[in-house]
């Protein structure tokens, strides 16, 4: 091979320098000194730090040797070492592997994989998966049938009346009763919301997600959408948290941990907070605008435009290098049922441990707010911005509760709509504002937990002002153009 | 050139460019001192959108082809082509990786894309998909443009 030469030169030089560096290492590292030296010449940051601490006298000399070796080689040592290993492995493989036969199944998998990653056939396949996996299984079965079963039949008809009765009997103080079984109590809101509303949705979602994951579809989806995500400062990898956000934004914010850089994690968190409505919210907003298909279209267009605009601006303004996209495309596999069950079970457990305390905390916060009449004050303050949007003052309550549970806020609007207090334009303005409005309290806490309190609080303040600004201009635009929905 | 702040002498071509982190879309003619990070105007440098594109345009690795301290191999030799210009399904051999920043080299190394390996380009849009050994990888244009190949004649 023509590239044998630098390899040989590297071996001679590296062996020499490794010996010289190893001779200067005095402390105990738990490895042989020449292995420590090998890590040092590869620029292993952890080892460099450790040696600097443990060898204060010899450090300058050691660092000098490492730099000297790097200067004498044309290419970084880590790269040369990787090439050396690769060449050895190839030689070994060539000696031991004689022939490879491809089976009919493998051929079929290859064909299917081609169809999935070709944009012409890949996008229709994506829509089929979204329709069957997400809409029918998670949306209709999980969020529809199962939620109905658990919330209506288990909680509202059996558990809640029984617990309310018990607390009325055993808890003498009304404030304490309110805390556990009141309208926003720990059991009636926190536990019920986590178990009856979120649990079925996330269980079905995690099941569908595990199937997609185990077949190897997700990397193919990521590469299909990479170009689009580059425009908003993310890469194809971000598809996973953002799709998850359509189920539950709080959980999706947790999943942004899978993104490789801080910049990507920040942009994804911001987009989730601002422009990705969660499943519960989507349901109520669709029922709110049900009789006005034009309203739904305008709503969807505005949310999409905000998503793109915010992403585009963030990609321009957030400091950091534009991300690289690289991903191994694994073979397509038929998922193992047992694996999927184990994986889904583990995730639900993890989810519960992460999210349950937050829901309970949210209940506590609402309880304290109502008890101290802080809520009444906040509602009165919120009345002003709500009037600027051309909405009746009653909607202020819906907006405040929208912060604790976004779908609850939208639910409040639903009651106002039934009472005939809102016109078509007002419904649209309120729906848009509430979608962009502050994330629910669980997501707010998650933002702080994942991004630190500075970033978490600034994202919330930003979404607050941004949502009202968009609502204000939407109302103004509708009035100026004389549109009545 | 010499940094007006800390006095360090440096080669403007090899100084890391702050462009990619900056929202200004035109080449502003400034260089960042590798010693202290101060941005200084380069005298006689071409400015404007066209200049920036020529320096940091599509298809080039971060920092352009000329600027590099960790550039891994010599300039393109005879019969060498950048991966993005290779025909689809034509077998080739990786001849060199031309990478400016260390993290990109590490990414390619982690995928096991190294000189001497057989590589086949399977698809160019929406992402570059290559077959190396028994594995397939998806790469974006920036990373694919770092890989230089020698097309192999089919036998």
Q: What confidence tens digit (pLDDT) does each residue in B35-83 have?
A: 666 677 766 555 555 554 444 433 334 433 333 334 444 455 667 888 9
A101 CB neighbour count, 10 Å cutoff: 5
Same domain, B99 and B133: yes
The CATH number for B115's domain is: 2.30.30.90
B152 touches chain A (CB under 8 A): no
- pLDDT score at A405: 66
Q: What is the pLDDT of residue B68?
A: 36
- Tokens 């320098």 found at: A17
A77 close to B (CB below 8 A):
no
Q: Is residue B36 part of a domain?
A: yes
Q: Which two tokens stand for residue A44?
A: 């292993």
Q: Alpha-carbon distance A337 to B106, whole Å?
A: 36
- The pLDDT value recorded for residue A139 is 74
Rg, Å, chain B Cα set: 18
Nearest to B142 among A113, A227, A324 (CB): A324
Which of B62, B104, B126 lies at the smallest CB-CB distance from A223? B126
User: For the segment A407-455, what is each residue's pLDDT rounded down to a tens digit?
Assistant: 667 777 777 887 888 888 888 998 898 888 877 777 888 899 899 999 9
CB atoms within 10 A of CB B77: 11
Render pLDDT for B85-124 as a digit per residue (tens, 0 to 9). Answer: 888 999 999 988 887 777 888 888 888 898 888 999 999 8
Query: In the predicted model, what is the mean pLDDT of residues B7-26?
Result: 64
**What are the distances in angstroms from CA A346 to CA A415, A440, B152?**
39, 25, 48
Cβ neighbourhood burial of A91 (10 Å; 0-12, 13-18, 19+): exposed
E strands along B67-142, which residues? 81-82, 91-97, 118-123, 128-132, 135-139
Q: Phi then psi for A261, rounded to 5 degrees? A: -115, 160
How much is the pLDDT for A154?
87
For an interface test with B, which of A79, A85, A115, A116 has the most B Cβ atoms less than 10 Å from its Cβ?
Answer: A79
Domains identified in chain A and CATH numbers:
4-96 (1.10.287), 112-270+326-350 (no CATH)
DSSP, collapsed to helix, strand or coil, labels residue B92 as strand
B107 and B51 in a single domain? The answer is: no
**Per the CB < 8 Å rule, is B127 touching A226?**
yes
> Whole-angstrom Cα distance, residue A80 to residue A74?
10
**Per-residue model confidence (pLDDT) at position B57:** 37
Closest by CA to A186, choosing from A211, A160, A149, A148, is A160
Residue at B106 is within a domain:
yes
pLDDT for residue A57: 85
Between chain A and chain B, the number of residue pairs with CB atoms below 8 A apart is 96
Write the burial class of residue B45 (CB in 10 Å: 0-12 exposed, 13-18 middle, 19+ buried).
middle
Indicate if B143 and B100 belong to the same structural domain: yes
Identify all chain B residues contacting A79, using CB atoms and an 8 Å cutoff: 72, 97, 105, 109
* B13 touches A: beta carbon within 8 Å: no
- pLDDT number for residue A442: 77
Q: Is B38 helix (H, G, I), strand (E, B) or coil?
A: coil
Is B93 in CB contact (< 8 Å) with chain A?
no
Q: How high is the pLDDT of residue A266?
A: 93
What is the C-alpha to C-alpha distance for residues A239 and A268, in angstroms, rounded to an integer? 10
Say yes or no: A79 contacts chain B, CB-CB below 8 A.
yes
pLDDT given at position B74: 47
Cis status, amide bond into A75, omega within 30 of 0: no
CB contact under 8 A, B21 and A117: no
For residue B121, tell me if it sits in a domain: yes
Distance, CA of A185 to CA of A293 (rounded, Å): 36
Asked if ipTM goes beyond 0.85, one says no
Q: For chain B, how many structural domains are there in total?
A: 2
Beta bridge partners of B132: B119, B135
Compute the average pLDDT of residues B117-146: 90
Q: Which chain B residues are within 8 Å of A43, Cβ to Cβ?
A: 102
Q: Are residues B52 and B86 part of one domain? A: no
- The reply to whether B69 falls in a domain is no
A333-352, pLDDT tens digit by residue?
899 999 999 999 988 887 77
Give me the domain span that covers residue B87: 81-151
Q: Is B144 on the interface with A (CB under 8 A)?
A: no
B1 occurs within a structural domain: no
- pLDDT for the residue numbered B26: 57
CB within 8 Å: B127 and A118: no
**Is the CB of residue B125 less than 8 Å away from at least one CB of chain A?**
yes
The three state secondary structure string of chain A is: CCCHHHHHHHHHHHHHHHHHHHHHCCCCCCCCHHHHHHHHHCCCHHHHHHHHHHCCCCHHHHHHHHHHHHHHCCCCHHHHHHHHHHHHHHHHHHHHCCCCCCCHHHHHHHHHHHHHHCHHHHHHHHHHHHHHHHHHHHHHHHHHHHHHHHHHHHHHHHHHHHHHHHHHHHCCCHHHHHHHHCCCCHHHHHHHHHHHHHHHHHHHHHHHHHHHHHHCHHHHHHHHHHHHHHHCCCCHHHHHHHHHHCCCHHHHHHHHHHCCCHHHHHHHHHHHHHHCCCHHHHHHHHHHCCCCHHHHHHHHHHHHHHHHHHHHHHHHHCCCCCCCCEEEECCCCCCCHHHHHHHHHHHHHHHHHHHHHHHHHHHHHHHHHHHCCHHHHHHHHHHHHHHHCCCCCCHHHHHHHHHHCHHHHHHHHHHHHHCCCCCHHHHHHHHHHHHHCCCCHHHHHHHHHHHCHHHHHHHHHHHHHHHHHHHHHHHHHHHHHCCCC
Any idea of the CA torsion for A279, A281, A284, A285, to the nearest 10 degrees? -110
Residues of chain A with pLDDT under 70: 1-7, 100, 280, 405-408
Instruction: Confirm or reject contact between B132 and chain A (CB < 8 A).
Output: no
User: Is residue B32 a contact partner of residue B16, using CB atoms and an 8 Å limit?
Assistant: yes
Residues B52 and B85 in one domain: no
Q: At what angle do helices A4-24 and A33-41 cross, to 10 degrees?
A: 130
Q: Which residue in A has a C-alpha nearest to residue B118's C-alpha?
A: A90
- Residue in chain A nearest B107 by alpha carbon: A326
Collect all residues of chain A within an 8 Å Cβ-Cβ radius of residue B126: 119, 223-227
The CA distance from B112 to the nearest CA of chain A, in Å, is 8
**Residue A224: closest CA among chain B residues belongs to which residue?**
B126
Is residue B117 a part of any domain in this protein? yes
Is B88 in the same domain as B131?
yes
Please check whether residues B106 and B146 belong to one and the same domain.
Answer: yes
* Max CA distance (Å), chain A: 88
Tell me, what's the pLDDT at B24? 58
CB of B106 within 8 Å of a chain A CB? The answer is yes
**In a mutagenesis test of the A interface, which of B20, B120, B138, B147 is the best target, namely the one with the most A β-carbons within 10 Å?**
B138
**Which of A317, A321, A329 is nearest residue B23 as measured by Cβ atoms?**
A317
- Would the pLDDT of B21 be above 80? no
Question: Closest to B115 (Cβ–Cβ): which among A3, A74, A225?
Answer: A3
B65 inside domain: no
C-alpha to C-alpha distances, A72 to A6, A126, A182, A357, nearest whole angstrom: 11, 52, 74, 57
**B-chain residues near A9 (CB < 8 A):** none
On whether residue B44 sits in a domain, the answer given is yes
CB contact under 8 A, A119 and B127: no
């Amino acid at each position: 091979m023509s590239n044998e030469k630098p390899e040989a030169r590297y071996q001679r030089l590296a062996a020499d320098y490794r010996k010289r560096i190893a001779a200067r290492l005095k402390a105990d590292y738990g490895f042989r000194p020449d292995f420590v030296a090998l890590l040092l010449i590869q620029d292993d940051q952890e080892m460099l730090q450790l040696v600097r601490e443990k060898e204060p006298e010899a450090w300058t000399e050691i660092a000098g040797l490492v730099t000297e070796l790097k200067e004498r080689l044309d290419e970084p040592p880590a790269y040369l070492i990787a090439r050396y290993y690769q060449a050895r492995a190839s030689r070994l493989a060539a000696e031991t592997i004689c022939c490879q036969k491809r089976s009919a199944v493998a051929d079929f998998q290859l064909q299917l994989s081609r169809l999935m990653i070709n944009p012409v056939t890949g996008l229709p396949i994506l829509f089929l998966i979204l329709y069957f996996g997400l809409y029918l299984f998670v949306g209709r079965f999980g969020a529809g049938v199962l939620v109905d079963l658990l919330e209506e039949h288990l909680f509202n008809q059996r558990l809640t009346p029984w617990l309310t009765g018990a607390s009325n009997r055993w808890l003498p103080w009304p404030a304490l009763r309110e805390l556990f079984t009141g309208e926003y109590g720990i059991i009636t809101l926190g536990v019920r919301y986590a178990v009856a509303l979120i649990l079925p949705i996330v269980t079905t979602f995690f099941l569908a997600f595990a199937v997609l994951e185990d077949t190897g579809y997700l990397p193919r989806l990521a590469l299909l959408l990479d170009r689009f995500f580059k425009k908003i400062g993310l890469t194809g990898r971000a598809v996973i948290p953002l799709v998850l956000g359509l189920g539950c934004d709080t959980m999706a914010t947790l999943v942004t941990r899978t993104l490789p850089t801080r910049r990507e994690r920040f942009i994804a968190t911001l987009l989730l907070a601002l422009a990705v409505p969660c499943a519960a919210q989507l349901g109520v907003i669709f029922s709110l605008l049900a009789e006005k298909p034009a309203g739904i279209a305008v709503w969807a267009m505005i949310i999409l435009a905000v998503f793109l605009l915010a992403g585009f601006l963030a990609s321009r303004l957030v400091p950091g290098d534009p991300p690289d996209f690289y991903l191994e495309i694994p073979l397509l596999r038929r998922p193992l049922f047992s694996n999927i069950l184990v994986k889904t079970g583990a995730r639900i457990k993890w989810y519960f441990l992460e999210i349950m305390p937050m829901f309970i905390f949210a209940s506590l916060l609402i309880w304290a707010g109502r008890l101290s009449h802080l809520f009444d004050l906040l509602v009165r303050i919120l009345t002003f911005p709500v009037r600027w949007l051309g909405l009746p003052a009653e909607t202020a309550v819906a907006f405040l509760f929208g912060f604790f549970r976004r779908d609850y806020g939208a639910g409040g609007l639903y009651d106002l709509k039934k009472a005939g207090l809102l016109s078509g334009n007002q419904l649209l303005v309120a729906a848009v504002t509430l979608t962009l409005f502050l994330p629910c309290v669980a997501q707010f806490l998650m933002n702080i937990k994942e991004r630190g309190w500075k970033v978490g609080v600034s994202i919330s303040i930003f979404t607050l002002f941004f949502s009202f600004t968009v609502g204000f201009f939407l109302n103004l635009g509708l009035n100026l153009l004389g549109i009545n929905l | 050139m010499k940094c007006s702040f800390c006095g360090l002498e440096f080669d403007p071509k090899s100084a890391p460019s702050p462009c990619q982190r900056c929202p200004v879309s035109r080449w502003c003619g400034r260089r960042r001192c590798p010693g202290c990070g101060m941005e200084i105007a380069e005298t006689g440098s071409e400015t404007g959108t066209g200049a920036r594109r020529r320096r940091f345009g599509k298809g080039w690795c971060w920092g352009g082809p000329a600027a590099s301290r960790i550039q891994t191999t010599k300039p393109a030799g005879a019969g060498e082509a950048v991966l993005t210009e290779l025909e689809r399904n034509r077998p080739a051999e990786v001849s060199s990786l031309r990478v400016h920043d260390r993290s990109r080299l590490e990414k390619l190394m982690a995928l096991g894309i190294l000189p001497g390996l057989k590589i086949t380009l399977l698809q160019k849009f929406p992402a570059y998909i290559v077959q190396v050994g028994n594995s397939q990888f998806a790469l974006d244009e920036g990373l694919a443009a770092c890989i230089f190949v020698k097309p192999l004649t089919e036998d």
